[in-house]
Amino acid sequence: MIDLGLLAQVAPPSGGLGDPGPQPDLLDARQMQAMSFMFHIPLVCFGISFPAMVLFLEGLWLRTGDPVYKRLAKRWSKVMLIMFAVGVVTGTVLSFEFGLLWPNFTATFGEVFGLGFALEGFSFFIEAIFIAIYVYGWDRIRPRLHFLCGIPVVITGITGSLMVIGVNGWMNNPTGFDVHGGKVTNVRPWEALFNDYLAHELVHMYVAGYLVAGFIVAGVYARAWLKGRRDRYHRVGLVVSLTIACLAAPVQLVVGDWAARTVADRQPVKLAAFEGLANTEKGAEFTIGGIYEDGALEYGISIPKLLSVLADHDPNGVVKGLNTVPKEDQPPVNPVHLSFQVMVFIGTGLAALAALYLLTWWRKRRLPQSKWFYRGVVAAGPLALVALIAGWVTTEVGRQPWVVYDVMRTSQAVTAADGLEIGYVFLAVLYASLAVAVFWLLRRLSRQPAEAD
């Protein structure tokens, strides 16, 4: 019988299952995990924000009795159900991957971060129950009860995200446990869940959810608008989704700044990677673009002192460089630098588009008229999606080479099993065909005349 004490002597904090040793397929495991998230996250945005939009429309219908609101709400709730079904299955893949790809991460720290997922499981459960009652209950249960059944779906979208983000925040800012002789001890699960990274990550992701879903839905109606379909049905669909997205966009800049300052404070090396800053500098410059090669950022356009202003609101503030940690502890700079800049660039662009829209409403009480504005809205959906993925690559690849920052390396967390590349290719083919099928279905659904449902 294996004496668990024996495992404890193994290399520090991999006391769970012992060090997996060299894993040739580590990159495959990381890419597979990244791909799995990139298929889940766009659905998460719809899971977070779409129920609130549908409920808003149903509320308008209940108050005014205007059938256009109801037709839109019913159509959107059908899309919501399909998004939710695919969100469920892609989320399940993520849960499996905690055991299939990162058994030692879960075996060592499962008791520390697991509580977040236990609570998340309940919010998913209630979300699944009430979304079924809501979508299948249209015109079958009393209108008041039907509207009330929509509210838990909105609430669980928030609590579900809160718990999951709490876990990701903990990975970036590990607390609530101690490590003695390679074993995790003195576990404080509530403290681990409500860590200091939860706040900004949750708000930033939550606002991103409204941005992505809002602009994608608005893009569908903007394209119809460009094609001349401007009846009341399309106008209401456009105004509701676009207004919500445009209110969220400027907020995202403020929250992004808050996120950047938290990272500057807690994960200086990650911020250095954002900016490709090799050495610690006072009044560091902000470089747009550029490729990071052996210690220097080439070909970028640099604006003096701006990085110090961004990092701690002081033009002469000191910003730590990558050289504060040994080479093997530094994250891959180029993907992080590129994705951070893409996210910020798109974020600023979306905020500008939103400002134009809100000003036109405020000053002229009407929708903008120029075709270029609507082409901008059509582009805004996919761009918000790119910013979303870029945001997560910033957070996760920026955290490398650690899976639990400064505590456990990704290479210690990975499974010792082989043949991971087969799994990776298989899942890639599966997800690609799933994406095509869902896109084909949603495209056809949007073509059906609204009266059909």
Partner 1 sequence: MAEVCLGLMIAGLTAYGLLAGADFGAGFWDLTAGGARRGGRVRGMVKRSMGPVWEANHVWLIFVLVIFWTAFPVAFGSAMSTLYVPLFGAMVGIVLRGAAFALRGQAATMGEARGLGAVFALSSVLTPFFMGAALGGVAAGEVPVGNAQGDPWSSWTSPISLLVGVLAVATGAYLSAVFLAGDSERAGLPDLVAAFRARALGAAVVTGLLAAAGLAVVSSDAPDLFDGLTSGGGLVCVIVSGVAGAATLALLWTGRFFLARFGGALAVAGVTVGWVFAQSPYLLPGELTLDQAAAGDATLTATLVSVALGLVVLLPSLWLLYSLVLRGRLDQAYEPLDQRFRP
Binding test (CB under 6 A) with ligand HDD, winner from 64, 92, 316, 370: 92
Q: Which residue's Cβ lies closest to ligand HDD?
A: 91
If you write DSSP's letter for every residue of 336-349 in order, what string do you get? Answer: HHHHHHHHHHHHHH
| Helix (H/G/I), strand (E/B), else coil: 317 | coil
* Residue 358 and residue 246 in contact, taking contact as beta carbons nearer than 8 Å: yes
Binding test (CB under 6 A) with ligand HEM, winner from 154, 240, 263, 377: 263
Residue 387 interacting with ligand HEM (CB under 6 A): yes
Binding test (CB under 6 A) with ligand HEM, winner from 37, 46, 61, 109: 37
Structure tokens at 66: 């205007």
Residues 158-187 that bind ligand HEM (CB under 6 A): 164-165, 167-168, 171-172
How many of the other CB atoms lie within 10 Å of CB of 60?
A: 18
The answer to whether the bond into 401 is cis (omega within 30° of 0) is yes
Return the number of the residue (158 or 434) whose C-beta is nearest partner 1: 434
Residue 91 interacting with ligand HDD (CB under 6 A): yes
d(CA 449, CA 39): 29
Residue 141: which of partner 1, ligand HDD, ligand HEM, none does it interact with, CB under 5 to 8 A by kind?
partner 1
371: left (phi over 0), alpha (psi -120 to 50) or beta: alpha
* Residue 342 and residue 322 in contact, taking contact as beta carbons nearer than 8 Å: no
Residue 409 interacting with ligand HEM (CB under 6 A): no
Residue 44 interacting with ligand HDD (CB under 6 A): yes
| Number of chain residues interacting with partner 1 (CB under 8 A) | 75
| Helix (H/G/I), strand (E/B), else coil: 105 | helix
Min dist. Cβ of residue 146 to ligand HEM (A): 31
Residue 88 interacting with partner 1 (CB under 8 A): yes
Min dist. Cβ of residue 88 to ligand HEM (A): 16
Q: How many residues are recorded in the chain?
A: 453
Instruction: List the beta bridge partners of residue 428.
Output: none
Which residue from 238, 211, 210 is spatially nearest to 226, judged by alpha carbons?
A: 238
Binding test (CB under 6 A) with ligand HEM, winner from 384, 405, 408, 424: 384
Structure tokens at 380: 């805004």
Residues 65-124 that bind ligand HEM (CB under 6 A): 102, 105
Residue 34: which of ligand HDD, partner 1, ligand HEM, none does it interact with, CB under 5 to 8 A by kind?
ligand HEM
Residue 437: which of partner 1, ligand HEM, ligand HDD, none does it interact with, CB under 5 to 8 A by kind?
partner 1
Min dist. Cβ of residue 138 to ligand HEM (A): 31
Residue 259 interacting with ligand HDD (CB under 6 A): no
Could you give the dihedral angle defined by the CA atoms of residues 311, 316, 317 and 323, in that order, rounded to the nearest 10 degrees? 90
Min dist. Cβ of residue 403 to ligand HEM (A): 4
Place of tokens 């650690």: 402
Which residue from 318, 322, 227, 229 is spatially nearest to 267, judged by alpha carbons?
A: 322
Place of tokens 């209108």: 143
Which residue from 39, 40, 340 is spatially nearest to 160, judged by alpha carbons?
A: 40
Residue 396 interacting with ligand HDD (CB under 6 A): no
d(CA 408, CA 42): 29
Q: Which positions touch ligand HDD (CB under 6 A)? A: 40, 43-44, 47-48, 84, 87-88, 91-92, 94-95, 124, 127-128, 157, 160-161, 164-165, 205
Residue ranges in contact with ligand HEM by CB under 6 A: 30, 33-34, 37-38, 41, 102, 105, 164-165, 167-168, 171-172, 197, 201, 204-205, 208, 211-212, 252-253, 256-257, 259-260, 263, 343-344, 346-348, 350, 384, 387-389, 391-400, 403, 410
